[in-house]
Amino acid sequence: MNQPQLTKICKSCNTEFTLDNYSKGQGKYKKANVCKQCDSVARVARYKNYSEDRRKELQRRNRVNHYKVNYNLPQYVAEQLANNRVGQCQICSKVSNLVVDHCHNTNIVRGLLCDSCNKMLGHSFDNPDVLTKAANYLKDNVMINHEDILDIIDTPEEAE
């Protein structure tokens, strides 16, 4: 049998919502007093009133938390990374803001890369064979003639 959905009235907008529309909180149902939408609006309004230094500190703290939670990095490593992300990319050697490269299956950190190189790995699905084929393609295909382009693409009759 279906259980009736428990509801609660938002203290901000006075609208009745099911409990899944509320963040964690305290009280009878361990839910917040305002719905997620009102809470989001209030957070944005509060954030706009913060000083630039306060915003930067919140961003830094959020980044530290992100590194700790998502990549299981120790506090001191997460702090160092959040405080200074400028370094040399391990693939292209460009000096820039670095991002954490990690295996999407295991979440294990592989290294620090520039954003472009990290996206390149992601677009290749972290598959070394795809990257090898891409490197060979760049080496072998300096120029293609216009007729060869037509040989590569499907014509409407062939595609059906």
Which residues touch 2 (CB under 8 Å, ≥6 apart)? none
- Residue 157 falls within a domain, yes or no? no
- Residue 101 falls within a domain, yes or no? yes
Is the pTM value of this prediction over 0.85?
no
What total of structural domains would you count in the chain? 2
CA distances for 157 relative to 96, 115, 153, 154, 160, angstroms: 48, 41, 12, 8, 6
DSSP assignments along 105-160, one per residue: TT--EEEEEEHHHHHHHHHTTT-HHHHHHHHHHHHH-S---HHHHHHHSPPHHHH-
- Mean pLDDT score, 140-152: 75
Residue pLDDT, tens place only, 104-137: 888 889 999 999 999 999 999 999 999 999 999 8
21 and 42 share a domain? yes
- Residue 153 falls within a domain, yes or no? no
Residue pLDDT, tens place only, 85-101: 889 999 999 999 999 99
Query: For residue 29, what are the domain limits?
Result: 7-48
- Residue 126 falls within a domain, yes or no? no
Tokens of 10: 């938002």
